[in-house]
Amino acid sequence: MFRAAAAVFAEAESAQNSAEIYPAGAELYKSGAACAKICAAGEKSGFLYNAAGGRENSMMRAGLFLILAGLASAALGAWETGMQEPANQIAADQQWLNRFMLAVICIIGAAVFGMMFYAIAKHRKDAGYKAAHFHENTTVEIIWTAVPMLIIIVMAIPATGVILRYKDTSAPDMTIKATGYQWKWSYDYLDDGVFFYSQLSTPPEQIGGKYYDAAGGATAAKSENYLLEVDNEVVVPVGKKIRLLLTSADVIHAWWVPQLGVKQDAVPGVVRDVWFRADREGVFRGQCAELCGKNHGFMPIVVRAVSGEKYAEWLAASGGGATADAAPLRAGQVIESAAPPPAEWTMESAMALGKKSYNTYCAACHQANGEGLAPAFPALKGSAIVKGAAAAHIDIVLKGKAATAMASFSYLSDADLAAIITYERNAWDGGGGGLVAPEDVAGAR
Ligand code: HEC
Ligand SMILES: [Cu+2]
């Protein structure tokens, strides 16, 4: 069903994609004039010092201008410095805050070092300067307490405004529950009855390294969205407030999509919430942002914001929404594999599908060469279960093993599982493991 869903978005958009990743961040730095743009954005968002009048604005503008003018050059633009173009006000505010804080820090740095070097140069002993000898100067003490306090207040006011709005998950238009796993995400559209897993779709041939390619190196050119692409994207309607409930099935992960201004830890046993709204259509890419084990860098997040009609189409194609039947899709749901099942079930066709699906779903832990990674992930090559009766092999893959990283893979289709199991039984130990049929898996469910 997800293949059908993907077809909904099959219009030409890769050109748009590439422009989407970094561009406008660079734009902002291209000239000093960008400073005015940034300040204007700050004013518009309303968290700035509107109440206090225009003076601070112009002061900050001057400060920002000085710093940005120093940094700005065509070269920086060409290097795509800066951050990804925000897709909503929260992300824009976060980036504004970043620049504002940088400006404050630079001004303080310049003032402190300026004074220090001035004193070192002017008040030298060998220049005949006589040091003053005094203790406890109330005026100085008041100044050096009051000035930092004022600076902190000046920084805290806009920051607090942004945090309050970032944390306000009330009155969402829809709620999605996202769960982190080593190493993939699942998404449960609580209102619309869609559930799916989302995992890296960059082929192992592009990745290389001993974990991904038995040959030890990448054999294919890297795709445009290398390591930032997934099989099933999080499709959301544009302009709607989406509440995200976040949790984890194993270790701490974090759901991070910079252009949407969201970064929130997914903690096992805890449900945290956060919200985002995509103010324009587009594809927004992110990653897990909490070191969560060996494949931490291989669990990207892709959010696709589409119009309301497109979203409804996607829902229908994904088996959710108004057309969904009453039975919840979540329990015992089977996800269609990325590769279609072969028309004829032979050793050859099963091995071909099995290799592809094994590399997608199993190789992260058991490795492409089946040797596993001691001591955490056992080798399947030479494993008693893999060499033994097919029933026990099917059983552990279907049901997983409680309290271990070996999760249930019952969400994969019968054909996918039969192919993977056939592949495991024949790929490494010289064959002879026999052909497992989709019916065998269906019977064991
Ligand atoms: C997140 C890591 C991870 C992934 C992904 C994973 N496994 Fe496992 N697997 C494990 C661990 C850990 C064990 C050992 C469980 C135990 O303690 O007995 C295991 C055990 C097994 C065993 C039993 C091996 C033996 O000799 O005891 C089989 C068979 C197996 N996995 C097949 C698969 C298949 C098929 C897939 C993909 C569909 C897969 N695994 C994906 C972690 C993983
Ligand atoms: Cu993670």
- What's the pLDDT score for residue 90? 95
- Could you tell me the sign of the dihedral formed by the alpha carbons of 176, 331, 414, 383, in that order? positive
Q: What's the pTM value of the predicted model, to 2 decimals?
A: 0.67
Residue 85's pLDDT is 92
User: So what's the pLDDT on residue 326?
Assistant: 37
Please choose from 197, 365, 373 the residue to mutate so as to test ligand 1's pocket, defined by most ligand atoms within 8 A of CB: 365
- Residues around ligand 2, an ion, CB closer than 5 A: 253, 288, 292
Distance CA 438, CA 422 (A): 10
Kindly report the CA angle at 419 between 415 and 422, in degrees rounded to 5?
140
Q: Hunting for tokens 């959301």 — which residue is that?
A: 236
Q: How far apart (Å, rounded) are the C-alpha atoms in residues 113 and 107?
A: 10
CATH number 1.10.760.10 is the correct assignment for the domain at 342-444: yes
Q: Please name the amino acid found at residue 336.
A: E
Q: Quickly list H helices, 168-262.
A: 204-207, 209-212
| CA atoms lying within 13 Å on the CB side of residue 35 | 22
**Residue whose token pair is 């194993």:** 250
Tell me which residues have their CB closer than 6 angstroms to ligand 1. 182, 361-362, 364-366, 377-378, 380, 383-386, 393, 396-397, 401, 404-406, 409, 420, 424
Cα-to-centroid distance, 362 and ligand 1 (Å): 7
Which one, of 398, 329, 254, lies nearest residue 5 by Cα? 329
Secondary structure (3-state) at 356: helix
Residue 273 backbone zone (phi > 0: left; psi -120 to 50: alpha; other: beta): beta
Under CATH, which architecture does the 174-329 domain have?
Sandwich (2.60)
Residues of the chain with pLDDT under 50: 1, 3-4, 6-8, 10-57, 73, 322-332
Burial class for 117, CB neighbours closer than 10 Å (0-12, 13-18, 19+): exposed
Question: What is the C-alpha separation between 294 and 281, in angstroms, rounded?
Answer: 33
Crossing angle of helices 54-71 and 33-45, in 10° steps, is: 140
Which are the contacts of 434, defined by CB distance < 8 A and separation ≥ 6?
A: 390, 422, 425, 426
Question: What pLDDT does 78 receive?
Answer: 64
User: For 272, phi and psi rounded to 5 degrees?
Assistant: -105, 155
Structure tokens at 294: 């060996």
Its CATH architecture, for the domain 89-167, is Orthogonal Bundle (1.10)
In this structure, the residue with its CA closest to atom 39 of ligand 1 is 362
Q: Domain limits of the chain?
A: 2-77, 89-167, 174-329, 342-444
Which pLDDT belongs to residue 50? 33
Is residue 172 within 8 A of residue 275, CB to CB? The reply is yes
Q: Confirm if 158 and 97 have CB atoms less than 8 A apart.
A: yes
Angle between helices 33-45 and 89-122 (to 10 degrees): 120
Output the residue whose Cα is nearest ligand 1's atom 9: 406
Name the closest ligand to CA 295: 2
What is the C-alpha R_g of the chain? 28
pLDDT score, position 203: 80
Tokens matching residue 93: 């505010």
- Look at strands 242-248 and 272-276 and give their pairing: antiparallel
Q: What pLDDT sits at residue 12? A: 36
89-167 and 342-444 in the same fold: no
Least Cα distance to 371 among 297, 428, 304 occurs for 428
Name the 3-class secondary structure at 144.
helix
pLDDT digits (tens, 9 = 90+) for 382-426: 898 998 899 999 999 999 988 788 988 888 888 999 999 999 999
